[in-house]
Structures are given as structure tokens and as C-alpha cells.
Amino acid sequence: MNEVVNVITIQRVFWHAVNVLLMAGTLIVQPAMAEPYLAVRTGQKCMACHTNPSGGGKRTQFGKIYGQTVLPATGSTNLLLEQINNYLDIGGDIRASASVAKEPMEEDQAAFTNDRATLYLEAQLIPDRLSLYLDQRVAPGVSNREAWMMVSAQNKKTFLQAGTFYLPYGLRIEDDGAFIREISGVSFNNSDNGILLGHDAGPWSFRTSFTNGTNGGAETNTAKQLSARLAYIQQRWRLGVSANANDGADAQARQMSNVFGGLKLFGLEWLAEFDMVSDTSPETGKRRQSIGFLEANKELVKGHNLRASVEWLDPDLDVGANLQNRFSLIYEFTPLPMVQLRVGTRLRDGIPQNSAQNADSVFGQLHIWF
């Protein structure tokens, strides 16, 4: 009996110590992490937790409840659902970071930054049929990220968006520094103007958009960008494909395609994506790139998530000895509803003559959302 009590005591002391250390740790620097792992963990589509049927941004009531009861180490019974009335709903995210970056042959950099403060507004002009959505960054600087109107059929199984939005393509992870986000240019830093059509039928989810292809810049020609994403979602796995074609000015063009998926295996949530990118321009001819992403998440105990990822990039398939890699190890601690601390490290490995490709960082982040 005394041995059992001692084991329980040791466990409690251990986890209390971990919690205290993590809550006291303020050296956190890291742009936000991939949330699709939560979709894999719950077996849900992105639209279950997010107002935007394509994922990201403001959370639905279910998403808010999940974030306040399931995600944190200590859930809440007094839910804060921030709904103004039946027609207006708000949300927000604030991410503040501290980082230490080490780049070969360059001076180390250590900085506190306000990564992003974002406010969301959803107006149900006609509930479940006609809505207006705004995703506005208010710091640093003020800029609009998404602004669209959506007409939808019952239960949003079919919908049409018009305005400014993120493109449907691949895994919509939060880490815009990942190769699959940075190289493709499809990230939370780039939104485009156009229309988006979506349809969900059972486990199938289809999105396609027709946009200017200027990532928010002025349109100076008639060329447009077409993007499409098809996914099949099951409780323990999901698989999808995406394609994107963008004709730009001066005979420039880009085509991209990928295969992506998620899997629950060995108690882990796995995410993976493989991309092929082809750029054509009169100056450089045709260049092809390949990108890979693999991530594993493990909920150690409630409120504690460990994440590891590996990425690779071949920036030109016709050139050898130019491969780049990126490794990440991140620990996420959600002590309370709507509060998350992250600590981690990223290691980059590229050609030795480019110091930026070999920059490493230790990071952390305080993330508050509602």
C-alpha cells in the first residue's frame, strides 16, 4: 500500500513540476503550429471547429468548446462562447514570441516579437445560408487577411464564397515557415481575391477556387489562378490531393500538385504531404521542385502535446547537391482554456555556402485565443 502511494505521489510531483516549469518558462519563440493534427485526432473535418469550411481562423461553437474543455490540462465548465447574439460572433488570436536564432557566419539574434494579433467577425445575415466573415490582423500593422461572403445550402454542404480568402491547397498548417507553405506560397500570409466553391458529401470534401493569382496584388492581366482540393476523411485516416495552376504576367506560370493525408497509428497523429512544383519563365525556363512534410503528434497527458516533424526540399530537380532539410521538435502545454505555451527548436540543414539554409532557432510562444 505504501509503495502504491509512493508511486502516485511521485507521478503527481513529476507532473506538477513539469507544469510549473513550463508555466514559468517564458523563452518561447515560434510561429504557430499545425492544427490539422487536431482534426486527425478527433476524426473531424476542419469545418467542425472552424467557421471557414476550409479551416483556419475563427472557431465554431464546437471549436471553442473543444478548446476550453478537451484541449487544456484543466478544462472549464464556465464556457466563454463570445457570441454577441444569434447573428454576430467574434473571435481572436494573439501570439507573442521570443526567439534565439543562430545562423552560421552571422551574428546571433534574440528578440521578443508580437507575432500576430487577429480578430474575427462572423455575421450570419441569414443563419446557415448567408454569412459575412472578416479575418483582420490588428498587430503588427493592420491588414485584412480574409473578407468574404458565403452563400450556402443547408448544413453548408455546398457553399460559394466570394471575396478575399486563403486558397484551398494541401494541409492548412499554421506553420507558414514549413517548406510546404513557404515554397508553395499558399499560407496564412497570402490570400487572394476571387470565388471559391465547396461541396461536402459524407466523407468527401471538395474545394475549388478561381482567383486573380496575385496574392492580393493588383491584377494587371486576364490570367487567373485555379486551385482545387479533394479529401476523403475517415475516423482514423484521411487522404487528399490538391492542384494549383497560376498564369502570371510576362509568360510566367506555376503548376503545383500534392498528395496529403493524416493517420492515427501507434497512439500518434501523423500528418504528411508531398508536393511537386513547376515554375516556368522566359528567363529561367522550367524548374521543378519537390517538397516533403511528415509530422507526428502525441498527447502525453491531457493538455500536453509533443510534436516532431521532418521536411525536405529539392529546389531544382535538375540540379544535384542542393537538398534542404528542416527538423522541428515542439512541446505544447495548454494549462488553461484558451492559453497555450509552446517551446521548441528548429534545425535547418542546407548547402553550406548559404547560411540562411543552415539557421537554427530555439523558440517559444504564448498563444491566447477566444
Partner 1 sequence: MHAKPLQRIVRGAWCTPILLSVFIGACGGSGQGLDTNGRPLSEQSKTNTGTNQPSNTSGENVFSSIQRDVLDVSCATSGCHSGTSAPLGLNLDAGKAYANLVSQSSIQVSGLLLVEPSNPDASYLVAKLEGTQDGGLQMPLGKPAINAQALAQIRQWILDGALESDDEPVVSVDPVDVPIPTIEPVLPTLDDIQSKIFDPLCISCHAGTTPSANLNLELGESYLQLVERPSTIDVQAKPLVSIDNPENSFLVDKLRGRSLGSFGDANYRGSRMPVVGGYLSESQLQAVEQWISAGATEMSSQ
**Cα–Cα distance measured from residue 348 to residue 179, given in angstroms and rounded to the nearest whole number:** 11
Least gap, CB of 320 to partner 1 (angstroms): 7
Please choose, from the candidates 66, 73, 80, 77, the residue with its C-alpha nearest in 3D space to the C-alpha of residue 38. Answer: 66
Q: Which residue has the cell 482514423?
A: 236
Asked if residues 196 and 59 have their Cβ atoms less than 8 Å apart, the reply is no
- Output the smallest distance, CB 82 to partner 1, in A: 26
On the 0-12 / 13-18 / 19+ scale of CB atoms within 10 A, 91 is buried
Applying CB under 8 A, the span of 69-77, 88-96, 150-158, 178-186 interacting with partner 1 comes to 178-186
Compute how many residues bind partner 1; rule: CB under 8 A. Answer: 83
For residue 15, state whether it binds partner 1 (rule: CB under 8 A): yes
Question: According to the binding rule CB under 8 A, does residue 48 interact with partner 1?
Answer: no
Site for partner 1 in 209-238 (CB under 8 A): 213-220, 225
- 262 contacts partner 1 (rule: CB under 8 A): no
With CB under 8 A as the contact rule, which of the stretches 8-16, 35-43, 122-130, 233-241 interacts with partner 1? 8-16
Which lies closer to partner 1 via its Cβ, residue 127 or residue 352?
Answer: 352
Q: How far is CA 297 from the centre of its chain?
A: 14
Q: What gap in Å lies between CA 258 and CA 21, rounded to an integer? A: 40
Taking the complex as a whole, how short is the minimal distance between the CB of residue 10 and partner 1, in angstroms?
A: 9
Q: Can you tell me which residue has the cell 524548374?
A: 287
Stretch binding partner 1 (CB under 8 A), from 38-46, 61-69, 266-274, 334-342:
266-274
Q: Under rule CB under 8 A, which residues in 239-258 are in contact with partner 1?
A: 246-248, 250, 252-254
Strand partners, 277: 256, 289
Q: Whose CA is closest to 201, among 168, 172, 158, 241?
A: 158
User: Smallest Cα–Cα separation from 326: which of 344, 343, 313?
Assistant: 313
Q: What is the residue whose three cell numbers read 495548454?
A: 334
Residue 323: count of CB within 10 angstroms of its CB: 15
Query: Nearest distance from residue 317's CB to partner 1, in Å?
Result: 12
Closer residue to partner 1 (CB): 80 or 329 = 329
Restricting to residues 98-137, which ones interact with partner 1 according to CB under 8 A? Answer: 101, 103, 106-107, 109, 116
Residues 298-357 that bind partner 1 (CB under 8 A): 298-301, 306, 308-310, 312, 315-316, 319-325, 327, 329, 348-354, 356-357
